[in-house]
Amino acid sequence: MFSDHQEISLCMIVRDEEKVLERCLRSVSEFMDEIIIVDTGSVDGTREIAEKYADKVLDFAWVDDFAAARNYSFANATKDYIMWLDADDVLQELDRHGFRELKEQLDGKVNRVSMPYHLGVDSNGNVTHSLRRNRIVRREAGFRWVGKVHEYLEVFGDVIESDVAITHQKEKAHTPRNLEIYLRMHENQEPFSLRDTLYFANELMDNDRKEEAIIYFEKFLSLEGGWLEDNITACLHLSHCYKNSDDRKSLRYLFKTFEYDKPRAEACSEIGRYFIGHGEMGLAVFWLEMIFTLDRPHSMGIANEAVWTWMPHIDLCYCYDQLGQFEKAYEYHMKALSLVPDHPSVLFNEKYFEHRFNQ
């Protein structure tokens, strides 16, 4: 057990997580002063694994409501602070060192700690997608989870914005579970919040129901009042949904992201690729090179790390090669090579330039 005077309860909800739960708990258990695991109906060996690490393993009858389950786990915590994780999350070795220092910063007054959430990494260990989540909260603040699906913590007050990251290592295949909950809500005529409307659209898109997704993304934007990051996400997802059916609308929604904030790399990259697909390399270069002039937003929203770092270099290499500016193309190739040396496109381009220079 950790000896610092501010103690942490780890609260988790799980179901059929025998493949990943021990990996998660092994990575964090030494820092936790109490572990509470709420099982929502496992039929595998999840409970046996939980009992090896947890102070409390509790049952919760599943009612199609993730917030209800998480609130139940929080209600059973007894320590100064509460941290939450999913079973397929881990604290990597580098972040374990940082977590020791983070715990020492908890003073009983700060209400919450936000931490980066690494949603994916490539074969070289580079983060591909990330966002920031409120991960640790002061128990006596009484923060509650909201939302049956894609639940979130309603928080306020002093915050520590930590660089210590949680890494998501998903093992399970995608399932329509979340979509089914939303469909039952819709069938039962339960009210949808603005956020529910967006996430229902996301689930429709992820389950290849793009025509229906378009309806709800557009409804979300028409209602107004959404979080800036959600508005931008809706536009990007609408662009994706229209990509194969109406590429002009796809482009229009990329430009619409500029109505909500300064240009983002996510939109500029797709605009550049649109013009590549239409053979307009000069315009593609304009939008792709703009990425390097952008200030990255300080945001809790999801970020595509690739388009902020290495991907534009690969795309610009191709554009300049098509424009006949081979030295410029090679310059961008070398930048990409320094960032993602094992990427298939970089390896292909390396052979291409070797052949070209040896002619």
Distance from C-alpha of 311 to C-alpha of 318, rounded to nearest angstrom: 11
Q: Which of 68-72, 216-220, 222-226, 275-279 has the lowest mean pLDDT?
A: 222-226
pLDDT of 8-36, one tens digit each? 999 999 999 999 999 999 999 999 999 99
Mean pLDDT (the chain) is 95
Amino acid found at 306:
A
Q: Give the pLDDT of residue 3.
A: 42
pLDDT of 121-144, one tens digit each? 887 778 899 999 999 999 999 999
pLDDT of 227-255, one tens digit each? 999 999 999 999 999 999 999 999 999 99
For the segment 168-172, the average pLDDT, to the nearest whole number, is: 89
Domains of the chain, first to last:
8-168 (3.90.550.10), 173-261 (1.25.40.10), 272-359 (1.25.40)
Task: Please give the share of the chain, as a percent, with pLDDT higher than 70.
Answer: 99
Q: Give the pLDDT of residue 359.
A: 63
For the segment 142-166, the average pLDDT, to the nearest whole number, is: 97
pLDDT of 39-80, one tens digit each? 999 999 999 999 999 999 999 999 999 999 999 999 999 999
Q: Give the pLDDT of residue 67.
A: 98
Distance of CA 203 to the CA centre of its chain: 15
pLDDT band at 2 (very low <50, low <70, confident <90, very high): very low
